[in-house]
Amino acid sequence: MTESIRPRSALIVDDEYLVAFDIEASMREIGFEACIVASNENDAIDLTKSSRPDVVVMDVYLGGTRGGIETARWLREVCRVPIVFVTAHIDKGTPERIRTVLPGAPVLSKPVYHYRSRHSLLILTARRSFRH
């Protein structure tokens, strides 16, 4: 009996479509075959519950607020999915808020280059595979 291997998948949450598609291209370059894009918190929750991605790449600022942080916390706690944050806004309060809400979650600055994202994503997906 042959066992099928599910391709690695990612959910990319960003309200800027061009940025999201650029991140998607980087994810595909490093081996994520299935990428889904969401532009807001509600779609991110629905898509995570239905598609069970291996990782969520979450923009911190969605719709002008830091709503991505709380959404990511919910996704990690409820759906047990690893989170990588991306943001163009690295002010003093944002990294502190992320460390408080989701300790250990990587934060990548935009633009996201595949060589930076590869390291963070490989570590997260390896951690997840050891938990199952």
User: Is residue 132 pLDDT above 50, yes or no?
Assistant: no
The verdict on residue 112 lying in a domain is yes
The verdict on residue 34 lying in a domain is yes
How is 58-112 classified by DSSP, letter by letter?
EES-BTTBSHHHHHHHHIIIII---EEEEES---SHHHHHHHHHSTT--EEESSP
The verdict on residue 24 lying in a domain is yes
Q: Give the count of domains, the chain.
A: 1
- The boundaries of the domain holding residue 92 are 9-131
Q: What is the pLDDT of residue 93?
A: 82
User: Is residue 122 pLDDT above 90, yes or no?
Assistant: no
What CATH number did the domain enclosing 45 receive? 3.40.50.2300
The verdict on residue 2 lying in a domain is no
The verdict on residue 1 lying in a domain is no
Q: Between the CA of residue 132 and those of 82, 127, 128, what are the distances in Å?
A: 13, 9, 7
The verdict on residue 4 lying in a domain is no
Rounded-to-integer distance, Cα 51 and Cα 109, Å: 26
The verdict on residue 110 lying in a domain is yes
Q: Over range 5-24, report the average pLDDT.
A: 90
The verdict on residue 116 lying in a domain is yes
pLDDT digits (tens, 9 = 90+) for 84-115: 998 887 777 888 888 899 998 988 887 765 54
User: Is residue 121 pLDDT above 90, yes or no?
Assistant: no
Rounded-to-integer distance, Cα 11 and Cα 68, Å: 13
Q: What are the percentages of helix, strand and coil residues in the chain, rounded to 5?
A: 50, 20, 35
Q: What is the pLDDT of residue 129?
A: 41
